[in-house]
Amino acid sequence: MKLALLPTDWLIWAVVLVTLVWSIRMRAHPMLMENWRKVFLKPSAMVSGLVLASFVCIALLDSMRWVDPSRPGDNALSALDRALAPLVQARERRYSAPLAYVSFRKESMERDGQTVRDYPRLQFGGAQLQNPQTEWFGDVLERSAKALVKGLAAVLVLGLLLRWLFRQSPYPWPWAFAAGSLLLLLACWAVELSAAYHVLGTDRTGNSVLWIALKSIRTALVIGVLTTLVVLPLALGLGVIAGYFRGWIDEVIQYLYTLLSSIPDVLLIAAAVLLLQVTIDNHPELFATALERSDARLLFLCLILGLTAFTGLCRLVRGEAMKLRELEYIQAARAFGVSSFGIISKHIVPNLMHIVLISMVMQFSGFVLAEAVLSYVGVGVDPKTQSFGVMINAARAELAATPVVWWTLTTAFIFMLMLVLSANLFSDAVRDAFDPRARQKA
């Protein structure tokens, strides 16, 4: 087994590591701990945090890639790919509706020596049924019942575990339990029925929509997280320097962000993505596989999206740093001869972090939504990457046809809504806990 991580995988794992270290070190800061405690005391934060955590788990599984040398011709597949291998291999030839046993459109075929137009049976979906017209409903019902029993057993175990672990805990565990049970039941159902059907149907080329949606989660989270990672140093660094030093440095930085914010975002992103495409086309030797190529494009998209998005936070940080530098404790530090670097790193940045944290969690969902729009314009992720934007784009063309292929769009809608809604709810809770103005009101 040989690790074969892509650049975005490395970055994702680095982010996970830094977050872990940071949360361990945070235990030494009672103020911060108190704020995070306040976040998780809210039921909405508990539920949305749980949903986000399960999305993050899927994305992490999808960021763990290796090549198996014992198997010749093994590609660098992720843990998620390997877990879902039966689903990936169970390809149909074209569209099929959720839980269907026949193809979505009629085709010409030979039957008893005659050519007839009918719905062909699927290769995988419901292939075990001898007489699908009569057996299908019973089969689905039986499998659902089995899934329900297994799911309820899992829920029971979870409930007892939570009960035992968090007897004295002040956090709203019942809410987390309710949301977790729902997710568990859904997961059980999807796993149980995936053994014989495509739970969410198949797309144009016969790939399972469930698989595509699960893969899209990683793309969305990579865009959200890595773009935030680009925004953070740019906005914090430039904003603090401009606000603290004032004078010509301030002028230059202000000029820079006025410049960037007055160029339409789409244009800047389009130019950058086209630039990358030209570079890739001219230097095919840089990237060994199509996967690496699309990964480079994803990374580049995060970079450029961050470049267009940092101006707002930069302006906020600059204003706050300007206010802070006039305060008495900073004046005192200066009088004691603390260096500018010391003042910035010890006294100014820690007092800005709540603004940075709040605007970062608030921006996250914006990036996820932006990816969909950019992919529609044609300057988003690589068309071969699985992402919600690519899914919507492909589904849009099918809405004009009759009968309508509704399931790809609906799946993208539900997954995206779940992700963005929980990100929004979580960021609300973070803002309420960390914003000193909100605290005064409460």
Partner 1 sequence: MASPWLGFFTRKLLYAFAVLLGINLATFALFFQVSSPDDMARLQLGGKRVTPDAIAKWKAERGYDRPLYYNDNGDGLARFTDTLFVDSSLRMFVFDFGRADSGRDIASEIKRRAWPSLALALPSFIVGLGLSICFALGLAFFRATYVDFWGSVVCVVLMSVSSLFFIVAGQFLFSRLMQLLPVSGFSPTSDAWRFLLLPILIAIIGRLGAETRFHRSIFLEEIGKDYVRTARAKGLSEASVLFVHVLRNALIPILGASVTIIPLLFMGSLITESFFSIPGLGSYLIEAIASQDFAIVRAMVFVGSVLYIIGLVLTDISYSLADPRIRLQ
For the bound state, the minimum distance from the C-beta of residue 256 to partner 1, rounded and expressed in Å, comes to 9
Binding mask 336-365 for partner 1 (x = CB under 8 A): -----------------------------x
Q: Pick the closer one to partner 1 by CB: 114 or 402.
A: 402
Which DSSP string do the residues of 200-237 spell out, in sequence order? Answer: T-B-TTS-BHHHHHHHHHHHHHHHHHHHHHHHHHHHHH
Among 138, 264, 342, 350, the residue binding partner 1 under the rule CB under 8 A is 264
Backbone phi, psi, residue 384, to 5°: -90, -15
Nearest one of 199, 182, 197, 185 to 146, comparing CA atoms: 185
Which of 22, 165, 378, 439 is close enough to bind partner 1 by CB under 8 A?
378
- Establish if 329 lies at the interface with partner 1 (CB under 8 A): no
Smallest Cα–Cα separation from 313: which of 252, 243, 401? 243
392 touching partner 1, by CB under 8 A: yes
Nearer to partner 1, 160 or 414 (CB): 414
Site for partner 1 in 239-258 (CB under 8 A): 255, 258
Our CB check for partner 1 shows the closer of 299 and 395 to be: 395
Spatial CB neighbours of 214, under 8 Å, sequence gap ≥ 6: 58, 62, 80, 84
Residue choice 81, 320, 428, 432 for contact with partner 1 (CB under 8 A): 428
Q: At closest approach, how far in Å is the CB of 375 from partner 1?
A: 9
Instruction: State the minimum distance, in angstroms, from the CB of residue 275 to partner 1.
Output: 5
Q: Distance between CA 206 and CA 196 in Å, rounded?
A: 15
Q: If we measure between CA atoms, which residue out of 123, 91, 290 comes closest to residue 210?
A: 91
Of the pair 72, 436, the CB lying nearest partner 1 is at 436
Binding residue (CB under 8 A) for partner 1 from 160, 267, 288, 353: 267
Give CA–CA dist 65/79, Å, rounded: 6
Instruction: Return all residues near 329 (Cβ < 8 A) that are at least 6 apart.
Output: 347
CA distance 371 to 411: 17
Q: How many residues bind partner 1 (CB under 8 A)?
A: 44
The count of residues in the chain is 442
For the CB of residue 412, give the shortest distance to partner 1 in the complex, in Å. 8
Site for partner 1 in 155-194 (CB under 8 A): none
**What percent of the residues of the chain are helix, what percent strand, and what percent coil, each to the nearest 5?**
70, 5, 25
In angstroms, give the least distance from the CB of 395 to partner 1: 8
- Taking the C-alpha atoms of residue 192 and residue 212, their distance in angstroms, rounded to an integer, is 18
Residue 377 lies near partner 1 (rule: CB under 8 A): yes
Task: Answer whether 215's CB lies under 8 Å from 62's CB.
Answer: yes
Residues lying near partner 1 in the complex (CB under 8 A) are found at 255, 258-259, 261-264, 266-268, 270-272, 274-275, 278, 365, 369, 372-373, 376-379, 388-389, 392, 395-396, 399-400, 404, 409, 413, 416-417, 420-421, 423-425, 428, 437, 441
